[in-house]
């Protein structure tokens, strides 16, 4: 019986971006990001198939380049950062669907609501850097309906336009360091 060595990877926040986009007034998108987060991948050797991935983001680190909007997002109308300081993701399946392409299914928890979501993951490659570290890059995309996670605040303009869309696009460009 052969045992495969588990390889642990941790996110490198200096070379990563965790962003989301939401429609504003139906005509444009607002981009936001989290400045404080943590992620880990536990894989068998150098292959990411069947890996386990976890990710957390600190709600207080949310930024949309508008302080009033950021404070509103942190309020109970949306994330309620005081009571629920982090969002969490834990993978349940990490399936290889093509060369460097994966479908990752897992449980996303926002506020006190946990739902299964599916993410598309592209492994951009694994390389050694000049400092002797091994790094792996990933582009992760997906979308969620914010109302399914209790982010239900809504408003309509006098003209009847919805102020905030329900669909949130997720886009993470992340680099992991092999430990």
Average pLDDT over residues 86-94: 97
- Parent domain of 170: 6-178
In a domain, 40, yes or no: yes
In a domain, 1, yes or no: no
pLDDT digits (tens, 9 = 90+) for 14-65: 899 999 988 765 556 888 999 999 999 999 866 798 999 999 999 999 999 8
From CA 9, how far away is CA 147, in angstroms rounded? 32
The total domain count for the chain is: 1
In a domain, 84, yes or no: yes
CATH number for the domain harbouring residue 121: 2.40.128.110
């Amino acid at each position: 019986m052969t045992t495969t060595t588990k390889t642990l990877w941790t996110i490198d926040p200096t070379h990563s971006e965790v962003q989301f986009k939401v429609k504003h007034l139906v005509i444009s998108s607002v981009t936001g990001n989290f400045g404080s987060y943590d992620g880990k991948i536990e894989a068998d050797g150098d292959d990411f198939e069947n890996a386990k991935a976890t990710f957390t983001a600190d709600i207080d680190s949310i930024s949309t380049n508008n302080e009033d909007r950021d404070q509103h997002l942190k309020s109970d109308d949306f994330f309620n950062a005081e009571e629920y300081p982090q969002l969490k993701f834990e993978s349940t399946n990490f399936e290889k669907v093509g060369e460097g392409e994966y479908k990752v299914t897992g449980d996303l928890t926002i506020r006190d609501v946990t739902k299964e979501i599916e993410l598309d993951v592209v492994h951009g490659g694994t390389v050694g850097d000049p400092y002797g570290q091994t790094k792996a890059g990933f582009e992760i995309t997906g979308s969620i309906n914010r109302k399914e996670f209790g982010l239900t605040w809504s408003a309509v303009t006098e003209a009847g336009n919805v102020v905030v869309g329900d669909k949130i696009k997720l886009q993470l460009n992340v680099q992991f360091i092999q430990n």
